[in-house]
Amino acid sequence: MKLLLPLVALAALAYAPNLVSDYGLGLLIGAVTYVTLANGWALFSGHTHYVSLATVAFYGTGAYTVAVLNETLPYPLVLVAAAVIGATMALVVGLSTLRLAGVYFVIFTFGLAELVRQLITWYEVNITGTLGRYIFLDVTARDIYWQMLALGAATIALTAYVHRSRLGLALRVIGDDEVVAAHSGINLARSKLIAFVLSATILTLVGAVASPRSVYVEPAIVFNPTVSFLTVIMALLGGANRLWGPALGAVPLFLIFEWLSSNFPDTYPIFLGLLFIAVVFALPDGVLAGIERLRASRKERTA
């Protein structure tokens, strides 16, 4: 029963492109993309409370991999290559950084995204002599949607599995108290590293799958730090340590952004800013926790 509902929803979502306009499909792609990003991000950060702003470093790398390889390799292999590159990058980064904690980790990941962007730019300008690459792939919006939906479903399934596994338990303990975790015999470095690599691989794949949507790829375009910020906000709004939290944060926020930017193109950043501040104050632990609190207080009243 618990499995049935998500499966029915997945089937309905997979069928949805047949019912909606191109814009509707665009909305679906956007929403699923952010759900997947937020879930992928929460896979590592949700329990450990390590707030990573490196999302776009992986997302952009995925998009860039497609841009570089799309003419030399068949598309499925390009995706595999992107996943491998993302995982390798995460492994290197993870090995060197996961001992950083708190705000240092936040800032490190922020700097990482910029460093990657600068290095790619420099490499393209000085070694290949071009900047800006084209992706002419025969991938329709529907294909992108289905791929993204599959990736999103896989991510949520993986999250559900991790939550129940030893790894999930380890991550939760780490998030509560690293010292306790270390004393209770959990291999801190290994648990964090596995989760980080899994998370980064998903984020890289999201970038790769989404990239054919825009034909032209340039470091300044694909390494847009807003992506990192939005991902964090969405996951936290829903509740990053719950299975359905990131999805519940991503979908409404995505729709609100869309609504604001079309109805208030001039003043939309102001509304957006106010909204954020309101969320932080009104829903400190995410929407899901807020709903639970509300239910609890209602129960108390009826009881």
Partner 1 sequence: MTDYNRRATLRAFSLGLAAALSVSASVAEAADDTVTIGYAVARTGPNATGAGITTIPNYELWVKTVNEAGGLAMPDGTKRMIEVVEYDDRSSNEDLVRAIERLASQDKVDIILPPWGTGSNLAIAPLMDRFGYLQLGVTNVTDKAPEFVERWPRSFWMLGGGHDYASGLVEMLSAAHDAGIINNEVAVVSVADGFGIDLINGARPAFEEAGFELVYDESYPLGTSDFAAIMNEAQNSGADSFVAFSYPPGSFGMTKTAQSMGFNPKVFFIGVGGAFPIFPGIADGKADGVLAIGGVNADSGAIQEYFARHTEVVGNPPDSWASAITYASLEMLEQAIAKVGVDNDALAEELNSGIFDTIIGEVKLEDNQLRDLWWVGQWQDGAFKGVNPADKEGAADPDIPKPEW
Partner 2 sequence: MLLTTLVLGLVLGGTYALLALGLTLQYGIARIMNLAYGEITLLAAFILVFLFQGLGIPPLAALVLIAPAGYGLGWLLYTVMMQPLVARSGSSGRLDVDSILATFGLLFLIQGVLLVTFGANFTSISYLDRGINILGVSVALNRLIAFAICVVVGTVLVLVLARTRWGLNLRAVAQTPASAPLVGIDVNRVARQGFALGTALAAVGGASIAMYQTFSATDGVVFTMKALVIVIMGGVGNVGGALLAGLALGLVETFVATAIDPGLTLAATFAIFLGVLLWRPQGLFGKG
Question: Using CB under 8 A, which residues numbered 82 to 101 contact partner 1?
Answer: none
The residue among 135 and 181 lying less far from partner 1, judged by its C-beta, is 135
49 makes contact, choosing from partner 1, partner 2, none, with CB < 5 to 8 Å by partner type, with partner 2
Q: What are residue 217's DSSP bridge partners?
A: 133
In the chain, which ranges are continuous DSSP H helix? 4-15, 22-48, 55-69, 75-97, 102-123, 141-164, 166-176, 178-183, 188-210, 219-222, 226-238, 245-263, 268-282, 287-302
The residue among 19 and 179 lying less far from partner 1, judged by its C-beta, is 19
Query: Residue 201, CB half-sphere, CA atoms under 13 Å: how many?
Result: 18
Smallest gap from Cβ 162 to partner 2, in A, equals: 21
* Stretch of 69-77, 92-100, 132-140, 183-191 contacting partner 2, by CB under 8 A: 92-100
- Our finding on whether 102 is near partner 2 (CB under 8 A) is yes
Q: Are 55 and 225 in contact, with CB atoms under 8 Å apart?
A: no
The residue among 27 and 194 lying less far from partner 1, judged by its C-beta, is 27
Residue 169 burial (C-beta neighbours within 10 Å; 0-12, 13-18, 19+):
middle
Q: Are 207 and 60 in contact, with CB atoms under 8 Å apart?
A: yes
Question: CA dihedral defined by 275, 278, 283, 287, rounded to 10 degrees?
Answer: -20
Query: What is the total count of residues that contact partner 1 (CB under 8 A)?
Result: 39
- Our finding on whether 300 is near partner 1 (CB under 8 A) is no
Smallest gap from Cβ 184 to partner 1, in A, equals: 43
- Our finding on whether 76 is near partner 1 (CB under 8 A) is no
The residue among 75 and 229 lying less far from partner 2, judged by its C-beta, is 229
The footprint of partner 1 (CB under 8 A) covers 21-27, 29-30, 33, 118, 121-122, 124-126, 129-132, 134, 141, 210, 213-216, 218, 220-221, 224, 226, 258, 261-262, 265-266, 268-269
